[in-house]
Chain A
Amino acid sequence: MISPMIQLILTFLVVVGVFVALYFLSRRSQPAGGSESLLEGRAALDALQRELLPPEMLDRIFSKADHEYVSQDASAAVRELFLKERRKIALSWAHELREQILSLRRFHLGSARFYARLSVRTEIKLALQFLSLLFLCQILRGLFFVRGAYGAPRVVGYAVAASARICSISENAMSFLKAGELDSPSENPERTPMLL
């Protein structure tokens, strides 16, 4: 009586296991929300390249000239206001940078790694880059909170350089996708289903 019951439970577990494995395999073989993650990735890349990372914008947010001007010319109350305001902006910048990097990571998880057929080594390297940059953003937020906008110039430099590297990789992945979209179905029937 016990033996058939155990057999039944084992069969049931095997069936459930097969279904779970099939579910994850189907998720891996299809991009998760392909066009949505591409749009999100494109928007994140635009925000990073046009708003968060341009040198002229970074020069303004972390401007030493502004700091010196206020330190020399203004009263203590104005100096305090200046540092408070710049800290607020620096915190927003670090927050926004993290959000956009997270969007790019979603794009890579959802589309880029699937379409670009990245090697395991490249995927691991990219994952580590994302992880280290996200960690750096958290460190930056902590430093800005404690020491203000002018308290972490080197870490800002590292974060900007790492973000630029990820932007470059993402841009390459997106240009690959665009090239794929331009191919007509008749010319490249193998690629078309992946883009749908």
Chain B
Amino acid sequence: MRPVSKRMDVVEAGDDLRRRTLSHIKRPLDRLIYLASTRDYNTGFYYHDGLASRFSQEVVCEALADCHRQAFRELLLSPLENLVGQMAEYIETSNTSPADFVAAWKKLEPYRVAVPVDTDLLTAEFLFSNFKIALAILEARLNTRRQAAPDASLHQSPAQ
């Protein structure tokens, strides 16, 4: 009986988290990053103070891990165009210059530490590969804009 009641607690904690917190985070990318940030990289355990006041640490950890896996799956199954859109919106809300953001993500590949711990290699590599392509698309767009901007100013200058 014990495992069943524990599982019910986990479901309840997960539902609570989805209702109160995750429902306010629209994009799967943001949810993945948020949930990865609740994990201690030294131990692999997840922590959430709000949930911990109502559930045991073990239940909180399992519920967060479940939600993390779900967010990962959602992002994994997002079409490439959708992933590019999510990243573009994420950059806009990050208060960082898009060029700096793309350069940092290309160099540091922070998404590599955002995957759930039990993810298989092929699935993780597929998502990393999509991130790499999405970053290349965003970088190409930035370059196109950068090239177009001086041209636009040159075109405007005679009218000034």
Interface set of A (CB-CB < 8 Å, partner B): 47, 51-52, 56-57, 60-61, 63, 65-66, 69-70, 73-75, 77-78, 81-82, 85-86, 88-89, 92-93, 96
Q: How far is the CA of A141 from the CA of B81 in the complex (A)?
A: 27
Q: Looking at the complex, which one of B76, B77, B80, B122 makes contact with A70 (CB distance below 8 Å)?
A: B80
Question: Is chain B's interface secondary structure helix, strand, loop, or mixed overall?
Answer: helix
B136:A77 contact, CB within 8 angstroms? yes
A74:B140 contact, CB within 8 angstroms? yes
A66:B122 contact, CB within 8 angstroms? no
Q: Is B129 interfacial (CB-CB < 8 Å)? A: yes
- Specify which chain B residues have a CB less than 8 angstroms from the CB of A63 in the assembled complex: 79-80
Q: Is B137 interfacial (CB-CB < 8 Å)? A: yes
B80:A77 contact, CB within 8 angstroms? no
Q: Which of B105-160 contact A (CB under 8 A)?
A: 120-123, 125-126, 129, 132-133, 136-137, 140
A89:B125 contact, CB within 8 angstroms? yes
Minimum distance in angstroms from B49 CB to a CB of chain A: 33
- Specify which chain B residues have a CB less than 8 angstroms from the CB of A60 in the assembled complex: 76-77, 79, 126
Chain B, residues 7-39, CB within 8 Å of chain A (1/0): the string is 000000000000000000000000000000000
A-B complex: 9 closest residue pairs judged by Cβ atoms: A66-B80, A85-B129, A69-B81, A78-B136, A75-B140, A51-B120, A82-B133, A81-B136, A96-B122
A93:B133 contact, CB within 8 angstroms? no
Minimum distance in angstroms from B64 CB to a CB of chain A: 21
Minimum distance in angstroms from A79 CB to a CB of chain B: 10
